[in-house]
Amino acid sequence: MDGKELAEKVLVALAEAKDAEGSVRIKNAHVSGISYMNLGDYGLTFLEELSDQGIKVAVPTSSNPCGMDRELWNEQGVSKDFAEKQARVNAALEAMGVTPTYSCTFPYEGSWSSSLSRGDHVAWAESSAVVFGNSILGIRTNREGGPSALFSAITGMTPNYGMHEDKNREPTLLVRVEPPVPRGPLEWGLLGKKIASIGEKARVPYIDGLGKIATKGELKAISAALATFGPTDLFLAPRLTPEAGAKPVGLDEIVIDGEELEESARRDVELAIKGDLPKAYFLGCPQYGVEDLVYLARLFLNIERIKGEIYVFTSAHALSDPEAREAVASLRAKGVKIFKDTCPVFSPSPKFEKGVLTDSVKSSYYLPQSKGVKPSLEPTVVAFMLANGELEGE
Ligand code: F3S
């Protein structure tokens, strides 16, 4: 059986298992699980076999972060052996026609997103992108696995079930967020975690009380946390998501206190002031976009050289923006380490052996699994700077 037949067979089996109403044509696909750290030699061989057979993707297909910054892998601390294996994975994918985006945010932030319209079907395998896409863009995708997204990319089709069907996009729970409205990626991430922890009932939460606007970073954070901690692939919020509609009636309701979110986000600040926090900070899960990089550069405007270590993970598509490149140049000159194409969860380096702070609730779940390190959650990099005496006397 060749790779195309295998792809068709697997998707038919998936459709049967899910009781799908046939299949739908997809506009694009996004494959994940492509770090050599996840694939190992078995996965690498499988991808090389597919590409040797001349298998090609049938629709535009982007790729999730790989295991290294493709230019700065040495500076990132990745071994030559790993880099060679990762380069072979990338070469096999690219030979199949997969676009080398190496980003978890490309599906909704990259150049293809502007050609997507509400109701379009896609097959994305990055769970944070799935929630962002379904909720904020109004596209339709299930939470694909790496193989099913690749097989959908090869066939151009995906089984029609779950998020592709209207009936599964109706709210299942009303969540009322009491003021204050959450602020910043950490509070929005904690809110997502709290909702997700309710379980199946929170499959499509209708979240009321989030205000009229949110930053891209906040929306990325809640999407990533909902996807990480529960079954949610779509959330509805008035004024923030296109499918929200009027507040539903007759659903179970839960109340989340904005003050509690604020409090749990800020509990480490005292430690920060005493200087007791880890000396490394990690930003960019999901990968940083243009606005995040520019904001960080402004925050560091009056700092000559940072103390401690700050790691930022971003994407090539963000760096295609001149403002982002300017911000990155200024941050690097101050000692901030910035990598693209990858993220620490899927890369052997950095290891964060001495602990790390982050504002990403998603990475607080995955870093213990991938590196055995439990990060401390901090709302802003300002606490880190306080801990390092950066802001003394100001
Ligand atoms: Fe992206 Fe890696 Fe976080 S893929 S969402 S930066 S775990």
> pLDDT grade, residue 268 (50/70/90)?
low
- Ligand 1, closest atom to CA 346? 2
The pLDDT > 70 percentage for the chain reads: 96
Question: Using an 8 Å Cβ cutoff, are 359 and 189 in contact?
Answer: yes
Question: Ligand 1 center to residue 316 CA distance, Å?
Answer: 14
Q: Give the predicted TM-score (pTM) of the model.
A: 0.96
Burial class of residue 317 in the structure, from the number of CB atoms within 10 Å of its CB (0-12 exposed, 13-18 middle, 19+ buried): buried
Mutational test site, ligand 1, from 343, 360, 371, max ligand atoms within 8 Å of CB: 343
Per cent of the chain over pLDDT 90 is: 87
Q: Is 287 in the pocket of ligand 1 (CB under 6 A)?
A: yes
pLDDT of residue 335: 95
Cβ–ligand 1 contact at 343 (below 6 Å)? yes
Atom of ligand 1 nearest to the CA of 105: 1
Of 278, 275, 273, 268, nearest to 355 by C-alpha is 278
Instruction: Give the residue whose CA is nearest to atom 6 of ligand 1.
Output: 285
Mean pLDDT of 207-232: 97
pLDDT at res. 176:
98
Q: Cis link prior to 205 (omega < 30° from 0)? A: no
147 pLDDT more than 50:
yes
CA 65, 68, 69, 70 dihedral sign is negative
Q: 305 C-alpha vs ligand 1 centroid, how far in Å?
A: 27
Q: Is the pLDDT of residue 82 over 50?
A: yes
Return the pLDDT at 393.
43
Please give the number of the atom of ligand 1 that sits closest to the Cα of 32.
4
Q: Which domains does the chain have, with CATH numbers?
A: 3-127+134-160 (3.30.499.10), 170-262 (no CATH), 276-393 (3.30.499.10)
The answer on pLDDT for 302 being more than 60 is yes
Average pLDDT on 349-353 reads 95
pLDDT digits (tens, 9 = 90+) for 94-109: 999 999 999 999 999 9
Q: What is the mean pLDDT of the chain?
A: 94
Measured CA to CA, the distance from residue 277 to residue 349 in angstroms comes to 21
DSSP notation for 187-227: HHHHHHHHHHTT-GGGSSEEEE---S---HHHHHHHHHHHH
SS3 (DSSP) at 141: coil
